[in-house]
């Protein structure tokens, strides 16, 4: 039924408008206690499967990737669908409008999405206020249903690369006290020059600044690791040797994990009309075409670092089989985004129930 509604109605709307309408509807359900309990009972039935990762207790291994809830306005609402963690953001130190619309497009022939959002968000101060409210909201849930909250931070567009470390530090100082874990995003293709910060020379000062700000701001972290866990989200378009260089830097600087991967700028993952369209538009591609390279990067990282880093897999996960394959290849957790757009609100719960049945 969702597939029918999606293909006949939602695809007639601009993709960003459809996103806002569906997210608004989900949040409206969450504000009505009776409907919230009913929708949670239907959508998240049988999704509890606790696991400890990063010194934190996750209700299950499936999370909502960054990009869906940029301003932390619907964390509890997203857990209705069964997600064990929600990664909000990307948040920048200063609010910014992002790139001009239209900036979000469906690639229907490939179950994919093309976006050039450009870190549109209200800024770290506003996110902090929303996270305070979110913490109050999820405290009302039974303890075993409370999601883990990740906070993904990025560089403000107008800030020069030379000042990036201070920009990330400002975000971390405000948001670390309310985050279960932090993510440094240096891999979005939609902020000019951002991916250049993946080099060891540029990335190490950012890591140092974020870790220092978090340690100063958080006296008693929620993680049993004794600090706010810190991860780096990397691009799939890095050469293998550059992926390994980031992994080595993470090991050397005490970063706790990597997220593999962000969106790709490689148009060769598409064919036909979708490829022709994507070649005429800027932005990163997510969804099923990303799966092969994201899987390669996951396996490369895991084989290189062993069990020394947590690895979260994201990119092209379309069903429980894909999720199981990522976990089998060494991912500790998996995240989704485009799959939810094409699969609908019952999709995460179905995936989790199927994963629990797998031997």
Structure confidence at residue 209 (pLDDT):
98
What are residue 62's phi and psi, to 5 degrees? Answer: -100, 130
* CA contacts within 13 A on the Cβ side of 220: 0
Q: Is the dihedral of CA 125, 227, 148, 152 positive or negative?
A: positive
3-state secondary structure of 31: coil
Of the candidates 337, 287, 291, 335, the residue with the CA atom closest to the CA atom of residue 107: 287
> Residue ranges for the binding site for substrate?
70, 115-119, 185, 190, 262-263
Point out the catalytic residue in the list 187, 188, 223, 286.
Answer: 188
Cα distance between residue 311 and residue 301, in whole Å: 8
Of the candidates 284, 274, 359, 240, the residue with the CA atom closest to the CA atom of residue 115: 284
C-alpha angle 22-26-31 in degrees, rounded to nearest 5 = 145
Element (H, E) at 86: strand 85-91
Q: How many CB atoms lie within 10 A of CB 10?
A: 18
Structure confidence at residue 20 (pLDDT):
94
Helices (H) and strands (E) in the chain, counts: 13, 13
Structure confidence at residue 2 (pLDDT):
66
Per-residue pLDDT of the chain (359 residues; tens, 9 = 90+): 667 666 667 778 899 999 999 999 999 999 999 999 999 999 999 999 999 999 999 999 999 999 999 999 999 999 999 999 999 999 999 999 999 999 999 999 999 999 999 999 999 999 999 999 999 999 999 999 999 999 999 999 999 999 999 999 999 999 999 999 999 999 999 999 999 999 989 999 999 999 999 999 999 999 999 999 999 999 999 999 999 999 999 999 999 999 999 999 999 999 999 999 999 999 999 999 999 999 999 999 999 999 999 999 999 999 999 999 999 999 999 999 999 999 999 999 999 999 988 65
Of the candidates 286, 289, 183, 189, the residue with the CA atom closest to the CA atom of residue 232: 183
Q: Are 310 and 342 in contact (CB under 8 A)?
A: no
Cα distance between residue 43 and residue 251, in whole Å: 39
Cα distance between residue 206 and residue 253, in whole Å: 11
Q: Scanning the structure block, which residue is given the tokens 């062993």?
A: 306
* Whether residue 223 lies in the annotated active site: no
Structure confidence at residue 5 (pLDDT):
67
Of the candidates 279, 195, 264, the residue with the CA atom closest to the CA atom of residue 232: 195
Cα distance between residue 124 and residue 130, in whole Å: 10
> Residue ranges for the binding site for FMN?
66-70, 90, 152, 185, 233, 261, 287, 316, 337-338
Architecture of domain 1-356: Alpha-Beta Barrel (3.20)
C-alpha angle 346-348-353 in degrees, rounded to nearest 5 = 95
Give the chain's radius of gyration (CA, Å): 19
What are residue 188's phi and psi, to 5 degrees? Answer: -70, 140
Q: Which two tokens stand for residue 215?
A: 């340690």
Structure confidence at residue 62 (pLDDT):
98
C-alpha angle 336-134-136 in degrees, rounded to nearest 5 = 140
First to last CA, the chain: 30
Structure confidence at residue 276 (pLDDT):
98
Structure confidence at residue 12 (pLDDT):
81
Cα distance between residue 151 and residue 141, in whole Å: 20
> Residue ranges for the binding site?
66-70, 90, 115-119, 152, 185, 190, 233, 261-263, 287, 316, 337-338
């Amino acid at each position: 039924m969702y597939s029918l509604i999606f293909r006949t109605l939602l695809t007639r709307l601009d993709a960003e408008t459809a996103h806002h309408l569906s997210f608004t509807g989900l949040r409206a359900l969450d504000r009505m206690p009776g409907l919230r309990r009913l929708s949670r009972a239907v959508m998240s039935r049988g999704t509890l499967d606790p696991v400890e990762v990063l010194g934190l207790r996750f209700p299950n291994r499936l999370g909502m990737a960054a990009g869906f809830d940029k301003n932390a306005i619907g964390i509890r609402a997203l857990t209705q669908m069964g997600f064990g963690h929600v990664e909000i953001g990307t948040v920048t130190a200063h609010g910014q409008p992002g790139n001009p619309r239209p900036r979000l497009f469906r690639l229907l022939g490939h179950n994919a999405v093309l976006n050039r959002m450009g870190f549109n968000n209200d800024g770290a101060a506003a996110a902090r206020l929303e996270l305070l409210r979110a913490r109050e909201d999820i405290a009302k849930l039974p303890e075993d249903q409370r999601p883990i909250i990740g906070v993904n931070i990025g560089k403000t567009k107008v800030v020069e690369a030379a000042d990036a470390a201070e920009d990330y530090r400002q975000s971390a100082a405000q948001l670390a006290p309310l985050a279960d874990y932090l993510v440094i995003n240096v891999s979005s293709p939609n902020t000019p020059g951002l991916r250049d910060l993946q080099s060891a020379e540029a990335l190490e000062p950012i890591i140092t600044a974020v870790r220092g700000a978090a340690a100063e701001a958080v006296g008693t972290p929620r993680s049993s690791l004794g600090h706010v866990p810190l991860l780096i989200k990397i691009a799939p378009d890095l050469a293998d040797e550059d992926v390994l260089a980031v992994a080595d830097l993470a090991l050397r600087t005490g970063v706790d994990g990597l997220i593999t991967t962000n969106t790709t700028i490689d148009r060769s993952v598409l064919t036909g009309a979708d490829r022709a369209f994507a070649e005429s538009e800027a932005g990163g591609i997510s969804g099923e075409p990303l799966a092969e390279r994201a899987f390669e990067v996951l396996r490369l990282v895991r084989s290189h670092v062993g069990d020394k880093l947590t690895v979260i897999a994201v990119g092209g996960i379309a069903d429980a089989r894909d999720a199981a394959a990522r976990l089998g290849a060494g991912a500790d957790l998996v995240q989704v985004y485009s799959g939810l757009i094409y699969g609908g609100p019952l999709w995460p719960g179905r995936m989790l129930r199927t994963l629990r049945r797998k031997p």
